[in-house]
Structure 1
Amino acid sequence: MYSVELYVKVRRAVMVDKCSEREAARLFGVHHKTVKKMCQFAVPPGYQRKSETISPKLAPFTGIIDAILDADKQVHVKQRHTAHRILERLRDEHGFTGGYTIVRNYVYKVATRQKEMFIPLAHRPSHAQVDLGEADGYIGGKKVRFHYFCMDLPHSDGCFVKAYPTEDTESFLDGHIAAFTFFGGIPQSILYDNTKIAVAKILGDGKRLRTKEFGELQSHYLFDDKFGRPARGNDKGNVEGLVGYSRRHFMVPLPIASDFDALNAKLLDGCIKRQQAKLRGETETIAERMQRDTAALMALPHGTYDACHKVSTRVSSLSLVRYRCNDYSVPTEYGHREVLVKGYVNRVEICLSGDIIARHVRNYGREEFIYNPLHYLALLEQKPRALDQAAPLQEWILPDVFDRLRRVLEARMERRGRKEYIQVLRLLESFSMAQVERAIKQAMGLGALGFDAIKHLILCAIERRPIKLDLTLYPYLPSASVGSTEPQAYLSLLHMPKANQQSSCGGAQ
């Protein structure tokens, strides 16, 4: 295609300077027909594609191609026909002799006609969309893949983002509570995709059967729920865009944080700073438009929602309960009992009849055992020989004074010393590590080593009363005087009558 500059020169030569078309062709080195065309158009007209016609070779087979493409609409998107696969089927099954290009062009034309069109939407205040994304980052010095909860207010583009170790029920529930708190209220409605966390089943009439946990969340906060069409992310395009925006702006380069609390502090700061932005086509900042959103939000209800995943299970013979592939300990007195496990984002609670019998920090590993050594001490007192091999105690880090106490007790009392030491450990069920450690050191200084003495010292310290391990503090007790016996005193027994000797010996023969 010739440039506009050449068009100007040729047209001036012919139309202003009155050169002939053939003379202009020789002057500018172009064909005389090209000069004629240049005189007809002020600018290069560009290539004009002729109206597309179907190749005679392909025409008998277009109905077959259309049927294949229609059937593909009901098939998983990753298992639909490519143009190359359609060509193979036409050749193998229908004797087609044409080439790939005409098939590809026809498939492309049909696909273009079938592309969905959309209507621009206007969003009212106090309506939200929710979605979940995933990204990589360095948490606690390790590279991990984490998930993040996003809530978007489409009217103002106000956003909330919070990261979690996993995408599960408890993080989904906790994300809602954190978002409601951040916005200061509850949206009138929230649009979701068909995540299994919220939707247990899609019924035949298009209605959704909610999961128990999602139903409880909705009942507490009373928002209306809406769901997009399956596999149609464009139904909630605003929050889909927020997921991508958050990853590109908040998580590039890869975030580095000591823990998830630190990471979420950075994400929250990013959400707040974004409110000062004025987006394309808007005359107000996000913060200014959010005022209309927040004014229309529903008020937060009284009382807090228990954002946890509940599972009923039974305590094993090892005093363990399993939750999400990990085993957590409970006191041995609850062995073989039915309990309720409540999984939160940061902790796991085991309950019996409404009472919490054990609480652990949430572990996100797999097939790991999370012990509380105190849960096994009562059983260990009955089975003291298991002290050195008890798995719950293997990684229990105690102050050095405990080890010194055990050595002294076992040296003085042998087997009884081991059980006495376990009884001292059981003091940790009721008192703090610092209190017991201080009492052991005090008892070792007084030379009064034993469970009763150590417990007495702890109670005295708590009650701020004097220690009563010295018998001089009990004057009402009878005093005993023990003297030494001289060997000569036994000679008097030789001169005593036989009857008196028997009497002195208590009648023993």
Structure 2
Amino acid sequence: MVPMDVVAVIRHKVASEGVPIREVARELGLSRNTIRRYVRANKIPVPRPEKQVRPSPVRDEVATAAAAIWRARRSFTAGKQRLTAKRLWELLRENGHTASERTVRRLVAEFRSGEREVTVPLVYTPGELAQVDFFEVWVEPSGIRQKAWMFVMRLMHSGRDFAMLCAQQDATWFLAAHVAAFTYFAGVVAAVAYDNLSAAVAKILVGAPRLLRPRFAALCAHYAFEPRFCRPGEGHDKGGVERRGGHVRRQHLVPIPRGESLAAMTTALQARLDAQHSRNPMYVEAWARERSALRPLPAPFDGRQVRTVQLRHHASYLVAGAHYSVPSRWCGQMVDLFLGIDTVTFAKGDETICHPRVAFGGRSIDYRHLLLPLSRKPQALRQVAHELVAQFGSPWPELWETLCNRYSPDLIEAARRLAPWLERADREGVGRVKRAIITALACGTLVPFLQRTRRTETLAAVPLALSEYAVETPDLSRYDVLLERASA
């Protein structure tokens, strides 16, 4: 190859000075065809220096053994327990090889480069595909920093995003986020791509078919979309949402978002994403096309987890690490449990009990469900009386305060006096007893009159010798009078 400085002389003499090709060839000692080729060339080839390969006998010796171990690595690794360059170097040293760690690292780089997959640019038609993933984030609801999960659904044709901050990465939040996403887009795409997260996939079978969770399968059937799953351990199969989720976490959640609740912070985050999307005219046009291609939205799917549970003797049930009360008359029976992202509902027939969902380790106890057991346990009633009367509302706090003042400092006696009112409320209803309490407080008689059910069995015949005797009906008010006289 002719040096570049000689090429420059050839082109300058012929093109600038007008020297004939024959004379230039004679002067430089080159053939006329060579001179003619460089003069007529539109692009001058740049000579590349030849790479000098240095002899490396140690590297050549260890390369075969390292390649054999690298190819067989899947037989002794699994999941994230992967073979690293340093561990490969240690294995080679154990087998008697003396190569340096730097040499092994270069070999591993070559192995990985040879196995690297070739990415294929894809084209998405409007309404064809959305990608979904969860991302771990930190938030500060009510000034308390805690870990949360960001659900992201990205429409691949228009690049439109829906994001929702979730308290947990479980099936309940997963289904609720889907319902919220489809409602936000006002339509349903033909297919949604996922990785193999446990909220959707129960098991990966032989040949890579998936066994879906029942509630997720019901969601797919309700909205009639096709779930598509990535290869295990290959997150780049849905690189669009992976890349977008990382961008949202770095650009829109820094500094750490603050707000009254996760819902409020979700609203603010979605507003930022919408504003960013609207600034790109190309995305706006693509969204107009995709919006018209989405399928009509059916009625919202009930994403609550549903199961039948057996209640035990204590009138509460443990759900997701928190205790929730149920009516005491349901103890020992089977009831339906509906677990949502913000509510926990128990149902038996037409009767339902709904609690706000509390955090792990919390309690949501409504003592109005335990009126009859508390009426029979004064000691337990004394411990929870303040919470009980607060849940009832007026005039129950006034009744409890009056009883405490009258029998102070003996609170157990005050609890005994409150117990008949609870029994009457359980039997007759809270509204009817409320009027009776107001009347009792006005007149100072704090002993309720309990209407006992009459027994239907046949009474025994009274002997003739005892027929002239009359037995008076017991009256607790006389006992109160005796106690007041004794205290005076």
Q: What corresponds to 2:293 in structure 1?
A: 296
Q: What corresponds to 2:242 in structure 1?
A: 240
Equivalent residue in structure 1 for 2:359, among 342, 356, 364? 364
Between the aligned partners of 2:425 and 2:105, the Cα distance in structure 1 is: 78
- Alignment of 1:287 onto 2:284: yes
- Alignment of 1:329 onto 2:330: no
User: What fraction of aligned residue pairs are identical, expressed as a percent?
Assistant: 28
Structure 1 residues 417 and 99 mapped into 2: Cα distance closer, same or farther (>3 Å)? closer
Equivalent residue in structure 1 for 2:273, among 251, 271, 274? 271
Structure 1 residues 405 and 79 mapped into 2: Cα distance closer, same or farther (>3 Å)? closer
Equivalent residue in structure 2 for 1:166, among 165, 168, 193? 168
Larger Rg belongs to: 1
Q: Say if 1:409 and 1:421, in contact at 8 Å, map to a contact too.
A: no
Between the aligned partners of 1:452 and 1:291, the Cα distance in structure 2 is: 72
Deviation of the 1:375 alpha carbon: 0.6
Between the aligned partners of 1:315 and 1:336, the Cα distance in structure 2 is: 5
SS at match of 2:57: coil
Residue type of the alignment partner of 1:342: F
1:64-143 matches, cutoff 5 A: 64-73=65-74, 75-76=77-78, 78-93=80-95, 95-126=96-127, 127-143=129-145
Q: Say if 1:147 and 1:166, in contact at 8 Å, map to a contact too.
A: yes
Q: Say if 1:374 and 1:428, in contact at 8 Å, map to a contact too.
A: no
- Cα RMSD of the aligned pairs, angstroms, is 3.2
- How many residue pairs end up in the alignment? 397
Q: What corresponds to 1:198 in structure 2?
A: 200
Q: Say if 1:343 and 1:349, in contact at 8 Å, map to a contact too.
A: yes
Between the aligned partners of 2:47 and 2:369, the Cα distance in structure 1 is: 84
Deviation of the 1:140 alpha carbon: 1.7
Q: What corresponds to 2:370 in structure 1?
A: 376
Deviation of the 1:263 alpha carbon: 1.2
Q: Say if 2:193 and 2:229, in contact at 8 Å, map to a contact too.
A: yes
Structure 1 residues 90 and 387 mapped into 2: Cα distance closer, same or farther (>3 Å)? closer
Q: Say if 1:58 and 1:98, in contact at 8 Å, map to a contact too.
A: yes
Structure 1 residues 251 and 153 mapped into 2: Cα distance closer, same or farther (>3 Å)? same
Deviation of the 1:170 alpha carbon: 1.0
Q: Say if 2:309 and 2:336, in contact at 8 Å, map to a contact too.
A: yes
Residue type of the alignment partner of 2:88: I
Residue by residue, what CA displacement relative to the aligned partner does 1:207-226 show, whole Å, maximum 9, x if unpaired? 11111010111111111111
Deviation of the 1:345 alpha carbon: 0.5
SS at match of 1:155: coil
Deviation of the 1:329 alpha carbon: 0.9
Deviation of the 1:79 alpha carbon: 3.2
Structure 1 residues 222 and 428 mapped into 2: Cα distance closer, same or farther (>3 Å)? farther
- Alignment of 1:343 onto 2:339: yes
TM (normalized to structure 2)?
Answer: 0.73
SS at match of 1:146: strand
SS at match of 2:306: strand
Equivalent residue in structure 1 for 2:308, among 309, 312, 320? 312
Residue type of the alignment partner of 2:370: Y
Residue by residue, what CA displacement relative to the aligned partner does 1:52-101 show, whole Å, maximum 9, x if unpaired? 466212323322111111123453464333333333332331x3234333
SS at match of 1:186: coil
TM (normalized to structure 1)?
Answer: 0.70
SS at match of 1:63: helix
Residue type of the alignment partner of 1:297: L
Between the aligned partners of 1:414 and 1:110, the Cα distance in structure 2 is: 81
Deviation of the 1:266 alpha carbon: 0.8
Structure 1 residues 289 and 167 mapped into 2: Cα distance closer, same or farther (>3 Å)? same
SS at match of 1:253: coil
Between the aligned partners of 1:331 and 1:136, the Cα distance in structure 2 is: 38
Q: Say if 2:195 and 2:229, in contact at 8 Å, map to a contact too.
A: yes
Residue by residue, what CA displacement relative to the aligned partner does 1:110-140 show, whole Å, maximum 9, x if unpaired? 2222222201111111121111112111112
Q: What corresponds to 2:188 in structure 1?
A: 186
Q: What corresponds to 2:214 in structure 1?
A: 212
